[in-house]
Amino acid sequence: MDNVIVVDKADKEVGVKPRSEAHADGAWHRGVHVLILNENNELLLQKRGRSKDTFPNCWDFSISEHVNPGESYEEAAIRGLKEELGIVGATLEEKGHLRMNYGDADNMITKLFITSYGQFPPRINLDELAAVRFMPLGDVDRMLARKPGAFTKYFHEIYTWWRGRESEAEVIE
């Protein structure tokens, strides 16, 4: 069973519990998201697998991970890049430290990172992902406006914040 770091709304650690319990009881816990942009400023999107317990078959960040106990946000992002896409050695730039409700009782404190990667990922974990594709940012914006349900709620809100528009995502100072 995967454990998560339980935090207060200011992101101070208060304990550890199984991820399923944190999602059931509304405990704030840590996650990380990575946006991968290629040389054409296209965003790598992943489509979540049909067997995922939340937002199955929806488009999502290039990488989304829970932060494991004893792990930093950046270490979780690096782990996700390697496990899901086979990418190693990426340079990450932190873009935000955010708080939001991801749906039902799923309350997350997250950090958003950006990295560049000039080619298609070397390996895709098909146990986790249904598809992966690069999409121009303007196309992502239009698709979000026309078909918001095609994306995870948290992608919609955090991506919208990153693009400088009003969002449910709250910045943590």
- What per-residue confidence (pLDDT) applies to 42? 94
Bridge partners of residue 30, in order along the sequence: 109
Dist. CA 165–CA 34, nearest whole Å:
19
3-state class (DSSP) for residue 123: coil
3-state class (DSSP) for residue 84: helix
Dist. CA 37–CA 43, nearest whole Å:
5
Taken in order 116, 143, 49, 24, the sign of the CA dihedral is positive
For the chain, how many structural domains are there in total?
A: 1
- What per-residue confidence (pLDDT) applies to 1? 59
171 assigned to some structural domain? no
- Domain holding 148, by residue range, is 3-166
Q: Count CA atoms within 13 Å of residue 49 on its CB side.
A: 10
Give the mean pLDDT per block of 10 residues along the chain (173 residues).
91 95 92 95 90 84 94 96 88 96 86 87 71 93 94 93 93 88
Q: Which two tokens stand for residue 83?
A: 């496990």
95 assigned to some structural domain? yes
Task: Indicate the pairing of strand 106-116 with strand 28-37.
Answer: parallel
Contact between residue 107 and residue 29 where contact means Cβ atoms under 8 Å apart: yes
pTM for the full predicted model:
0.92
- What per-residue confidence (pLDDT) applies to 169? 92
- What per-residue confidence (pLDDT) applies to 21? 92
Dist. CA 123–CA 112, nearest whole Å:
22
What is the CATH classification number for the domain harbouring 75?
A: 3.90.79.10
Q: What are phi and psi of 10, to 5 degrees?
A: -100, 5
